[in-house]
Structure 1
């Protein structure tokens, strides 16, 4: 019998009970949950935001944002936020302390935990809580995965800077130094201990100009390739076909494309922010053997081939670099970096890290460095790493991100990965969402090239 017919007959039969039939649906409607957007301020001045959907599924995602302005964010992108809320996830995240450097690692982990407490004071207790972090926030996320047992249940890292601040500054310094020493030998270019953003920008402009000039000759291109190898720079740039494995010139051309797009400006601006946060320079090259360093690089065959083509003596250049390496770190800055900006010393909860295979800002090789540390701590069983075949930093589709969230939630719910984070499973799950495609692939990154 149609519902409306049943209601009419019930109304006629009950008479005065009609009032009850009307009031009950209205009362239920008044109690229907509605979406909530929450905001607040923490003790150190950091702000936080949270979005809770009307049909919350009981899982709260705590999002750690990347390097940049200290503004509260609760999702990696608008599209991902929309999809997560549609699936019933609640989202939260903080700005980190806005009074200091954009490299806000001194406060980020603390502020994320404080945000979690603040949000829980406004909503029902989550059934489970997952930490998610992107780029620099991926380092924050890895620290939360290490320290957050009992506060979070699992973690997802996206293009995370998981090798930490000192490894980052050291391999970047090796590349900057190679450019300055080999392409600007008559100049005493400042590479560390920047006193202002303008000073860092001036160094970036000079280095980029030197690379642009060098690109016009075979010898110059060989030296650009050497610096790119030290930078762990992928040889596959956006909008281009991947060069063949033995297309050495094509690989260097695409590495140059990354550099020509302003990569060194980002690197030097980041160094200034890190030095602000650490209270000094936390990188060094004194004692680095540059021949040994190149030998560890996946790009070594390319560099050897281009040096031969350019008629240059590679060993002579490497000796020049080794002899001239005289930059020392500030020991206090190194200690601060270890305390605030390192990860991998263990895991307290399951962690899935996802990375693009050709990341120009946070090289995929960082994942290998991080995994070595987690393995040494005895927590390899908690870690899974997955890779997306694509160029760019944090260049994930919404489907790839959502599938990774589901994989972490599966691990938390079942206490076993059971293949949920394998590339085939992630690819299948992402495509099944019918969103914007996916490119999960089997992949094993090379070792990170960094001076010790």
Structure 2
């Protein structure tokens, strides 16, 4: 399967990444401003036309609720992304206010626990929040409808809520999510890190797992980023960076007003390297300690992995081949080298814990609409192809629809995008059919009619295969 991303100009620039890079591992990237832990959670008071409530769950998680005076009967349960465990009920303040002024009540929790990767408690805390708010805030005690929504790590949380929410929620809206699951998420990231170690590092390799602190993990992220940056000075380094980027599912558009042309392989590699250096490697390596801490040990294993097999599923294979040929390198030999030295083993208990808490089964109890940017550097759009395959395999494909906006960045949606996607989901809940509601033309019309300012356009798009998930043999 290949990408059908349109190569056209968009007004959405990648300026948001400056904030992401500066925040590094302290918060998640993923709002319209690029800060995915969410600016909405920092807001201490509700908008003037709503009342603000707060409370605490039995396990210590905090919850908040903003209820508009003209509540329309729909209760929105928001799952926030990776970052500090602070109660949030919307991705950002602008989206929060856009929903409140249309009568939606917004609730959400902080999640509890000692790790920012809070998958072991997040779903439980979100359901508990739903019960607590309905019990303590009389106005929303009997909503006409409850919709779960979330982004980034919260998109994964939300897909698990959609899987388990029968009788508690009516529909789900999952954006920029790790919907392929935590195992695959860690596998393909670490595959790329391993390739950087093997092909771009001379001497002692950089640690990519089994971390003892955030600082140690962050240092590894910086070191890998420096290796990629140094590699840009030679054709050989650029070719091998392209291979590592392909294994990591790194998109080829990171900055600028438009993506490189399909066959401009040098420009595509330059964009991939920029994303790896400025954001992806520092952020994801920096966060890995928190993931391992939550799961009880390293989750990544590459024992027995055939890297030539993995690469065959990559839509970037023509780019990698072209750059290897230009550099005078033997791609097959490098792939054999990666396969020959693949000896990293996971902690079996950590893997079992991840499988239990952070891997969707593909079953859906309610309709789930997903939303993704075409070029997401942290949770790449190919996550969606893996998720769709699993949902179809479980027999629930009719409950899933996937939508995309033509933009670079992690969760770089505007209020109009959210409102249009919600309208499409509400159409499905009202009529029992998706109809044409998720077609780009309909979504863009809804976004325009929302009159909430500019937004990246919805487009027809087929996400490529998720390398590292598709291509591995056996199950973990």
Q: How far off is 1:128 after superposition?
A: 0.3
Contact kept? 1:162, 1:344, Cα under 8 Å: no
Larger relative contact order (Cα-Cα within 8 Å, sequence gap ≥ 6): 2
**Conserved in 1, the CA contact under 8 Å of 2:50 and 2:100?**
no
Q: Encode CA deviations 1:292-350: one digit per residue, 9 max, x unaligned.
A: 11111000000000011111111111111110000011111111111110114300000
What is the rounded CA distance, in whole Å, between the counterparts of 1:161 and 1:34 in structure 2? 34
Partner of 1:251 in structure 2? 268
Residue 107 of structure 1 pairs with residue 121 of structure 2: yes
Give the deviation of 1:240 after TM superposition. 4.2
Query: 2: distance between equivalents of 1:292 and 1:147?
Result: 34
TM-score (norm 2): 0.86
- TM superposition score normalised by structure 1: 0.91
Q: Deviations over 1:165-206 (max 9, x none)?
A: 110100011100000111114213221111111111121121
Whether 1:449 and 2:444 are equivalent positions in the alignment is no
Which among 48, 52, 60 is matched to residue 67 of structure 2?
A: 52
What is the aligned partner in structure 2 of residue 13 from structure 1? none
Structure 1 residue 420 and structure 2 residue 437: aligned?
yes
Separation (CA, whole Å) in 2 of partners of 1:35 and 1:175: 47
Q: Could you tell me how far apart the structure 2 residues matched to 1:198 and 1:250 are?
A: 33
Deviations 1:67-105 (A, max 9, x none): 0001000011111001100000000000000x3110000
Q: Which residue of 1 aligns with 2:283?
A: 266
1:260: how far off?
A: 2.3
Q: Figure out how many residues of one structure are paired with residues of the other and give that number.
A: 419
Counterpart secondary structure, 1:412: helix
Which residues of structure 2 form unaligned runs of 5+?
A: 1-47
- For 2:436 and 2:258, locate their aligned partners in 1 and report how far apart those are by CA, in whole Å: 31
Counterparts of 2:63 and 2:85, CA distance in 1: 11
CA deviation digits over 1:345-375, x for unaligned, max 9? 3000000001000000001000000011110
Tell me what 2:214 maps to: 197
Corresponding residue for residue 404 of structure 1: 421
Q: Note the C-alpha offset of 1:428.
A: 1.1
Match of 2:174 among 157, 160, 163: 157
- Structure 1 residue 138 corresponds to structure 2 residue 171: no
- Structure 1 SS opposite 2:351: helix
Q: For residues 32-47 of structure 1, what are the structure 2 equivalents within 5 Å?
A: 35-47=50-62
The gaps in structure 1 that reach 5 residues or longer are 1-32
The list of structure 1 runs, each at least 4 consecutive aligned residues, that deviate by more than 4 angstroms after superposition, is none
Match of 1:238 in 2: 255
8 Å contact from structure 1 (residues 400, 437) kept in 2: no
Candidates 93, 96, 102, aligned match of 1:87? 102
Which structure's residues are more often helix, by fraction? 1
Asked whether the equivalents of residues 163 and 369 of structure 1 are also in contact (C-alpha less than 8 Å), the reply is yes
Contact 2:301 2:346 in 1 (8 A): yes
2:227 aligned with 1:210: yes
Per-residue deviation at 1:273? Answer: 1.1
Q: How far apart are residue 239 of structure 1 and its match?
A: 2.3
What is the distance in 2 between the residues matched to 1:214 and 1:34? 54
- The answer to whether the Cα contact below 8 Å between 2:307 and 2:336 also exists between their aligned partners in 1 is yes
RMSD: 1.2
Aligned mates of 1:161, 1:191 — CA distance in 2: 20
State the match for 2:37 in structure 1: none
